[in-house]
């Protein structure tokens, strides 16, 4: 019996990174590659969601580390150090048992898992980098490195509103500058490590060439390897579950009872949280807007206490049937639902791709990392959302919700989002840009070790 070729994926252990990597696995599997997922034990994906993949947990020794957001760099450093040997051992074993598993065509890794480069170089295996963010975000890194080299950081407050030269239409306040400069060297080193691609032969992007053509062309002058833009991944792959948390499907029954386009979906992804005051102001803003809403409040919002502990007293009675709260939603299903007419989002890239793919306009409330770049794209370049800036106050929340969900302005924003949805569809259909790019990637991977 002949065995085919396999691809080994190495995802980074966060929801926004695991999701696109698993989707990429489904895409490559549809092109005949068998898929192995070598992942850290921390935040390991659920193998039962992908019975046709082989999952290989890499011992990471981070069980006792503080997993709070501010300590994430230390956790990633430990994973990058501790997973090296286990990955090497696994790949050696695979190479020795080629007759059983098929030849390794290549390793695809998330740039955050930069330890992979050393391992594959030692074993002389080809690798490809997967970037889960936009090309603009990667270019913004370059801007930050230039500021650093010129000793311009931290930037004065007065410069934040200025346009970044050669990075139109982004402003300095959109750049991925560290939240604090307490350990700047390590933060900047990490940014450089995730920017570089080592000896990788190509970059796979979860973006659409038409959206980011200019930034991709500029990056092509820096990274001299083929680019493959297959976005949005989730529309290129058969649907699959990728959530690390349990999805609460009860909200779909609630959505079934709502009017078309009437519900605002509020979700800040897997990391961003609100403080007590923000939860309270958001709650009153939503109540006062008089619009139906579905709000995801993860447990962490309440520091381990009851998830809705910070909500106004009697909140659930006040909202009655007009609101629905869950701890984690089946987001793609929610956005596909005809009752959903708007998405208050932290502007994680997966969330934006999912929202545009269903023609759902957004309220943009970025918090850190690439979210500012993504928000500028959505609110100011593509005009598919409204930006909610400054401290959260109930009056502002009420106003922006009504602007998106009720006013003429919201209808125009929705129409533009629907136009873009159609472009996304064209891109993934036979003959479309992402579809063609996948054909090229399939040939490219097949050529790597033949």
Measured CA to CA in angstroms, residue 332 lies from 8, 179, 285 at distances of: 26, 30, 25
Binding status of residue 385 toward ligand UDP by CB under 6 A: no
What's the half-sphere exposure (Cβ side, CA atoms, 13 Å) at 140? 24
How many of the chain's residues bind ligand UDP (CB under 6 A)? 20
Question: Around Cβ 418, how many Cβ atoms within 10 Å?
Answer: 15
Pairing between β-strand 293-296 and β-strand 323-326 as defined by DSSP bridges:
parallel
Residues 219-248 that bind ligand UDP (CB under 6 A): 243
Under 8 Å between Cβ of 140 and 167: yes
- Taking the complex as a whole, how short is the minimal distance between the CB of residue 19 and ligand UDP, in angstroms? 4
Strands lying side by side in the sheet with 385-387 = 323-326, 293-296, 263-267, 340-345, 362-364, 385-387
Binding status of residue 433 toward ligand UDP by CB under 6 A: no
- Taking the complex as a whole, how short is the minimal distance between the CB of residue 258 and ligand UDP, in angstroms? 18
Q: Quote the CA–CA distance of 391 and 119 in Å, as a whole number.
A: 46
Structure tokens at 140: 């913004």
Binding status of residue 110 toward ligand UDP by CB under 6 A: no
> Contact region for ligand UDP (CB under 6 A) — 1-9, 97-105, 218-226, 342-350?
342-350
Residue number with CB closer to ligand UDP (106 or 140): 140
Binding status of residue 332 toward ligand UDP by CB under 6 A: yes
Q: Which residue in the shown chain puts its C-beta closest to ligand UDP?
A: 16
- Taking the complex as a whole, how short is the minimal distance between the CB of residue 231 and ligand UDP, in angstroms? 13
440 burial class (0-12, 13-18, 19+ CB within 10 angstroms)?
A: middle
- Taking the complex as a whole, how short is the minimal distance between the CB of residue 349 and ligand UDP, in angstroms? 5
Residue number with CB closer to ligand UDP (15 or 427): 15
Contacting residue, 349, 372, 424, 444, with ligand UDP by CB under 6 A = 349
Q: Quote the CA–CA distance of 317 and 27 in Å, as a whole number.
A: 45
Query: For the window 1-40, what string marks contact with ligand UDP as x by the rule CB under 6 A?
Result: -------------xxx--x---------------------
Binding status of residue 206 toward ligand UDP by CB under 6 A: no
Residue number with CB closer to ligand UDP (60 or 358): 358
Position of tokens 């064209």?
426
Residues 270-329 that bind ligand UDP (CB under 6 A): 270-272, 296, 328-329
As a residue count, the chain comes to 450
- Taking the complex as a whole, how short is the minimal distance between the CB of residue 49 and ligand UDP, in angstroms? 12
- Taking the complex as a whole, how short is the minimal distance between the CB of residue 221 and ligand UDP, in angstroms? 27
- Determine which helix (DSSP H) or strand (DSSP E) holds 214, and give its type and residue range: helix 209-220
Q: Quote the CA–CA distance of 351 and 241 in Å, as a whole number.
A: 15
Measured CA to CA in angstroms, residue 367 lies from 16, 247, 383, 405 at distances of: 15, 24, 19, 23
> Contact region for ligand UDP (CB under 6 A) — 44-52, 286-294, 350-358, 409-417?
350-358
Footprint of ligand UDP (CB under 6 A): 14-16, 19, 243, 267, 269-272, 296, 328-329, 331-332, 348-351, 354
């Amino acid at each position: 019996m002949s065995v085919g070729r396999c691809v080994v994926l190495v995802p980074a252990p966060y929801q926004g990174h695991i999701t696109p990597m698993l989707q990429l696995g489904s895409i490559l599997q549809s092109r005949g590659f068998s898929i192995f997922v070598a992942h850290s034990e921390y935040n390991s994906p659920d193998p039962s969601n992908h019975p046709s993949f082989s999952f290989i947990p890499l011992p990471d020794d981070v069980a006792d580390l503080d997993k709070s957001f501010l300590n994430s760099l230390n956790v990633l450093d430990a994973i990058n150090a501790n997973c090296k040997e286990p990955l090497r051992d696994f790949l050696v074993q695979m190479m020795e048992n080629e007759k059983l598993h098929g030849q390794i065509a290549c390793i695809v890794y998330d740039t955050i898992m930069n330890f992979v480069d050393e391992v594959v170089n030692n074993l002389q295996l080809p690798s490809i980098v997967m970037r889960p963010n936009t090309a603009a975000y990667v270019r913004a890194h370059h801007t930050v490195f230039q500021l650093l080299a010129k000793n311009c950081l931290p930037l004065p407050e007065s410069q934040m509103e200025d346009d970044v030269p050669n990075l139109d239409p982004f402003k300095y306040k959109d750049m991925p500058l560290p939240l604090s400069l307490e350990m700047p060297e390590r933060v900047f080193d990490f940014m450089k490590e995730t920017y570089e691609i080592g000896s990788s032969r190509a970059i796979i992007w979860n973006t659409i060439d038409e959206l980011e053509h200019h930034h991709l062309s500029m990056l092509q002058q820096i990274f001299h390897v083929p680019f493959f833009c297959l976005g949005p991944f989730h529309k290129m792959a058969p649907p699959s579950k990728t959530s690390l948390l349990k999805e609460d499907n009860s909200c779909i029954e609630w959505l079934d009872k709502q009017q078309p386009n009437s519900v605002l979906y509020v979700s800040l992804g897997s990391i961003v949280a609100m403080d007590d005051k923000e939860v309270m102001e958001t709650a009153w803003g939503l109540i006062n807007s008089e619009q139906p809403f579905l709000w995801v409040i993860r447990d962490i919002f309440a520091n381990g206490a009851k998830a809705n502990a910070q909500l106004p007293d009697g909140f659930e009675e006040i909202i009655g049937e007009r609101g629905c709260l869950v701890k984690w939603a089946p987001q793609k299903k929610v956005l596909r639902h005809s009752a959903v007419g708007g998405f208050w989002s932290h502007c994680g890239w997966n969330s934006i791709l999912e929202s545009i793919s269903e023609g759902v306009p957004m309220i943009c409330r970025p918090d850190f990392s690439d979210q500012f770049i993504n928000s500028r794209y959505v609110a100011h370049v593509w005009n598919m959302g409204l930006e909610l800036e400054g401290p959260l106050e109930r009056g502002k929340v009420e106003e922006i919700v009504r602007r998106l969900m009720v006013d003429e302005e919201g209808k125009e924003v929705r129409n533009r989002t629907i136009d873009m949805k159609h472009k996304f569809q064209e891109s993934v259909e036979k003959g479309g840009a992402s579809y063609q790019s996948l054909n090229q990637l399939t040939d490219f991977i097949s050529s790597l070790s033949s």
